[in-house]
Structure 1
Amino acid sequence: MGNPVNFIVKLRDLAKDENSFEELLNIFSELEDNSKKLASSSFELKGSFCQFEGYFWTKFDPTDLSKIQYSESIKKITGYTNQELSQLPGKLLSIVHPEDYDKIKRKYTDILTGSMDSFCKVRYRILSKDKKMVWIGETFFMEKDEKGNISQCHSLASNITDFMNRETDLEVAYKDLKILLDERDRFINIISHDLRSPFTSLLGFSEILINEPNLTNSEQIEYLQYIHDASKIQLQFINHLLDWSRLKTGKITIDPKRLLLKDIISNQVSLVTRSAVSKNLDINVHVNEELYVSVDERLMGDAIGNLLQNAIKFSESNKRIFIAVNEFKQGMVEVVVKDEGIGIVEEHQSKLFRIDQKYITKGTKGDKGSGMGLNLVKEIVQKHGGEVWFYSKPGEGSEFHITIPEAQNVVLLVEDDPEVRQLYKKLVDSSNIHYRIKEANNGYEAMSNIFSEMPSLVITDHDMPLMNGIQLVEAIRKKDRRFLIPVIVISAKFDEDVIEKYKQFGVEHLIPKPFDTSMLSDIIKSSLR
């Protein structure tokens, strides 16, 4: 920085002094000199900012732009040295972003022609030497001569990229929030309407039943059927709405477990069998019987069940419904529910899965739905890290696709001796099949692991404290009723009674100690494959 500038103000009665006029001129001359020093110090003060990373200054004579000066700190922001910039045809303007070039060129022209005030600010983008976009905030200070012409121009510039990025993020967040608020308002209007509308028929038909004693038995049954159907639809709507809301707010916790996908699908097919039989619909299921997924059983069952119910509702009699499972991206499985129903016209397809644009159409038998089912499906699938999409053609049918996470393959080692467990781990690793290994010291620890995640293979000792191998396998088979999980039991003593009990629980591999490691390795490989 420059030397401090001192101002001395003298208060005198100049009229009494014979040299007053001359002294007055001297005072004005001193003030003029100090003013020049102040301007110089001001610029030096601005230049001192450049010792901080992210600032640089410029200085130029508007009558000779070839002598424009930049502080050395400009390299920290632009990547160019002072000398490199000075050699560019347009100096700093040469690296201004193309979208900002015309705007900044006009601004510079206004400054140089004196059309701007003595102080002005501008924001623009540059492309640094490594081709990165950098936001610059620049403040110009103009010095003018006695005639009002610009004699010198200084500027102080800084890197405001982080600030501009935050500003952009805030603008995006504001727009997103506004969209959400608009959707919320439309959603509330739809919900309030849907909550009220069924009561018209409920109250109307119930009043007729109360006030009309001469109704025939068939009329009474007909009106009661209306009341029953409207109540059933309303209950379904409220249940879907509550589940959707709880998922949105995190009040329902996703509890994923390692489950057979075939079991989930079979359970949902059994629940809709009656509806399918009433329309003489054929449901074809194609799924690998040993495919495990990591999902919340109730929620994923609801999602697949909703898609299956829709397929039945919008299918004419004597048609077919297909449920197929395919491999998708790594770690994900695709479930497809396809029907040969009435399809969805293109103008309504964009309304599906939109909470703020409800779309309801009657099924082939005039049956209505809640209009919330597909929104619930989407929320459940997304909470599992999956996606949902569909294809549909009027008169040809629809197919809905969802992706869900495939369960990791797990090998459970149950052995109280750490050294023996380490040996088992090496044998599993030697199989060259990617499996995650979990360990347990005893049967009770093993059961805790099994309840949280069903394994692909269990290797267990028979003689264990608290719970022996037979008790452990019996507990496993209560969850694995079809004996799909292979179990290898190792023991120093097997008698005929023990062997028979294990065979009853589907255990094929009973390995006596001491064992041949190569033989056990082969058994592990065949079991995992």
Structure 2
Amino acid sequence: MDTNSNIHDCQKHLEALLQSCDDWLWSVDRNYCLVYSNEKFDRFTKTFRHRSFEKGECLLSEEFPQYVNNIWKGYYDRVFQNKEKFKIDYKPLLIKDPIYIEYFFSPVFNVNGDVLYALIIGRDISERKLSEKKLHQGKEFSENLIESMQDGFSLLDENGVHLRVNSALCKMTGFSKDELIGVGPPHPYWSDKGFSDIQKAFETTLKGKFDSFELLFKKKTGEDFHVIVSPSCITDINGNKYFYATVKDITDIKKIQIELKDISLQKDKFLSILAHDLRSPFNTFLGFIDLMLDELDNMTISQIQIMLDKMKKSATNLYELINNLLEWSCLHRGVTNHNPVSFNLLKATEEFIDLVNIPARNKNINISIDIPDGLTVFADRNMVATILRNLLSNAIKFSEHSSEIIIKAWNQGNDKVTIEVKDFGIGMSADIIENLFTLSKQALRPGTDKEPSTGLGLILCKEFIERHNEKIWVESEEGKGSSFYFTLPVN
């Protein structure tokens, strides 16, 4: 009697527990009929069929669409046929309100090990799903934000191992995500040249000091490039530290800085020319004029002629300098037009020589031309005149008296003509040649008759030739002379 009473009490207690459970609980037999259900399940079924199921009633009801019955039949059969325990997340198809349920399926065996019932527990996980969705959306937003960044981005653990990189960093360095993620220091994009600086900056960051660093990185191709790295740190709820950094490629900025520095140096050089080289000829004029005013009555015709000759040379140098200054200034202000036309190079060269005939005659220098008749170039005629005038002026300036200058040209193929201006003067050292076409570093020297030299003419030649997308170069040996070469297009 006591035993039966205890069993009855246990059954009542178990029933009370099952009925008060917040989860939906029911069991079905092999015919898919309801064996047991708690109140939570009964209330839930009323939301989509207006009444709860009766015990013994088949749960695969004709009230439901066939595809819904097929889904649930498949779940039940997994329990009965496979004796399988499993879990699924399910969104009821017959309920309009968004709800997600987590179902646990489990077999109930008899003493022989056969499956008597399928026991199912359902749990509303809508809030969890909503949180997961928001978390996923937040993660997706963060991923998209990082991927859309123009600058590179990397996330590292406290040992400096890459956990995450964006496409911008991969594009910047040339390494794929697979080649970077999971890789610790030294990272493959660390430059050999800037390795010590990078290592120092990296160690500083790991110590918790977050300054921006200008560093030298390396592309996969081996090419170095300049970057600014801005690191920071975050700590998760477990106290784990993670480091992240943005990487900005400043190669173009560095180039602009170099160009601005070069422009500043050119400006300083330009002002130096204005202050010194323009003043010298005027001082010569004023000196001779003062002398002639004071001594004219006592001077012979021969002495006057000598002074006038020196004044003429000074005026010629001044004219050449002013021409170069004006053309250089126009070029850098963007007001020099590039108007290429096709013209006969031999005839044009014969005309251009007239521009330097006087200084050549003064030093008894013969200028010979070796250009095939009919050879044409497609270039800006005025620019070519300036180029030849400056190259010939230089050749005359650094040649001894009674010397020779040769102008040669030939078609080298590939629609290009090569022009050579060759002298047999004092030549140049390797140091002078290295800085010949830049204003920032020049070893200026006077000509064989102490003619002044600014170096501006060769700068002008180089820039005019580059306007034609062509090149200029020089071969020279001290004491033996120099040969300046440049190319022009045929068409």
Equivalent residue number for residue 240 of structure 2 = 153
Please give the alpha-carbon distance, in whole angstroms, between the structure 2 residues aligned to 1:251 and 1:312.
30
Equivalent residue number for residue 173 of structure 1 = 256
User: CA offsets, 1:383-442, max 9 Å, x none?
Assistant: 2222222122222111111111212xxxxxxxxxxxxxxxxxxxxxxxxxxxxxxxxxxx
Q: Which moved more, 1:196-205 or 1:323-332?
A: 323-332
Residue 395 of structure 2 aligns to a residue whose secondary structure is helix
- Listed as ranges, the gaps of 5+ residues in structure 1 are 1-40, 145-150, 408-529
1:207-246 paired onto structure 2 within 5 Å: 207-217=290-300, 218-246=302-330
Residue 400 of structure 1 aligns to a residue whose secondary structure is strand
Preserved contact between residue 376 and residue 490 of structure 2 (Cα < 8 Å): yes
**Match of residue 389, structure 2, among 283, 305, 324:** 305
Shift of 1:371: 5.0
1:126-205 paired onto structure 2 within 5 Å: 139-143=232-236, 151-153=238-240, 155=242, 157=244, 160=246, 164-165=248-249, 167-205=250-288
Please give the alpha-carbon distance, in whole angstroms, between the structure 2 residues aligned to 1:131 and 1:314.
44
Equivalent residue number for residue 27 of structure 1 = none
Preserved contact between residue 57 and residue 154 of structure 1 (Cα < 8 Å): no
Preserved contact between residue 256 and residue 297 of structure 1 (Cα < 8 Å): yes
1:386 aligns with 2:470: yes
For the aligned residue pairs, the C-alpha RMSD in angstroms reads 4.8
Equivalent residue number for residue 95 of structure 2 = none
Please give the alpha-carbon distance, in whole angstroms, between the structure 2 residues aligned to 1:334 and 1:406.
10
Preserved contact between residue 283 and residue 322 of structure 1 (Cα < 8 Å): yes
Preserved contact between residue 415 and residue 490 of structure 2 (Cα < 8 Å): yes
Preserved contact between residue 420 and residue 483 of structure 2 (Cα < 8 Å): yes
Equivalent residue number for residue 455 of structure 1 = none
Change (3 A) 1:265 1:96: same
Shift of 1:297: 1.8
The AA in structure 1 aligned to 2:432 is H
Please give the alpha-carbon distance, in whole angstroms, between the structure 1 residues aligned to 2:224 and 2:437.
38
Equivalent residue number for residue 49 of structure 1 = 142
Preserved contact between residue 189 and residue 220 of structure 2 (Cα < 8 Å): no
Equivalent residue number for residue 295 of structure 1 = 379
**Match of residue 407, structure 2, among 306, 323, 333:** 323
1:343 aligns with 2:427: yes
**Match of residue 190, structure 2, among 96, 99, 110:** 99
User: CA offsets, 1:256-289, max 9 Å, x none?
Assistant: 1110111112223455556656656554432232
Please give the alpha-carbon distance, in whole angstroms, between the structure 2 residues aligned to 1:237 and 1:394.
26
Residue 239 of structure 2 aligns to a residue whose secondary structure is strand
Change (3 A) 1:265 1:80: closer
Shift of 1:49: 0.9
Please give the alpha-carbon distance, in whole angstroms, between the structure 1 residues aligned to 2:254 and 2:355.
48
Change (3 A) 1:92 1:126: farther
Equivalent residue number for residue 484 of structure 2 = 400
The AA in structure 1 aligned to 2:485 is H
Preserved contact between residue 58 and residue 70 of structure 1 (Cα < 8 Å): yes
Preserved contact between residue 233 and residue 370 of structure 1 (Cα < 8 Å): no
Change (3 A) 1:174 1:377: closer
The AA in structure 2 aligned to 1:241 is L
Preserved contact between residue 190 and residue 217 of structure 2 (Cα < 8 Å): no
Shift of 1:130: 12
Residue 93 of structure 1 aligns to a residue whose secondary structure is coil
Change (3 A) 1:371 1:234: farther
Please give the alpha-carbon distance, in whole angstroms, between the structure 2 residues aligned to 1:154 and 1:382.
54
Shift of 1:359: 5.6
Change (3 A) 1:237 1:45: same
Shift of 1:234: 1.6
Shift of 1:122: 9.4
Change (3 A) 1:120 1:336: closer
Equivalent residue number for residue 255 of structure 1 = 339
Please give the alpha-carbon distance, in whole angstroms, between the structure 2 residues aligned to 1:209 and 1:311.
33
The structure that has the greater radius of gyration is 2
1:431-470 paired onto structure 2 within 5 Å: none
Change (3 A) 1:129 1:312: closer
Aligned length: 343
Please give the alpha-carbon distance, in whole angstroms, between the structure 2 residues aligned to 1:374 and 1:277.
22
The AA in structure 2 aligned to 1:261 is L
Shift of 1:350: 3.9
Please give the alpha-carbon distance, in whole angstroms, between the structure 2 residues aligned to 1:212 and 1:314.
34
Residue 338 of structure 2 aligns to a residue whose secondary structure is coil
Residue 400 of structure 2 aligns to a residue whose secondary structure is coil
Please give the alpha-carbon distance, in whole angstroms, between the structure 2 residues aligned to 1:75 and 1:253.
40
1:32-71 paired onto structure 2 within 5 Å: 48-52=141-145, 54=147
User: CA offsets, 1:285-325, max 9 Å, x none?
Assistant: 32232221112223212311332233334333454322221
The AA in structure 2 aligned to 1:338 is K
Preserved contact between residue 343 and residue 394 of structure 1 (Cα < 8 Å): yes
Residue 298 of structure 2 aligns to a residue whose secondary structure is coil
The AA in structure 2 aligned to 1:201 is T
Change (3 A) 1:69 1:246: closer
Equivalent residue number for residue 13 of structure 1 = none
Please give the alpha-carbon distance, in whole angstroms, between the structure 2 residues aligned to 1:360 and 1:71.
56
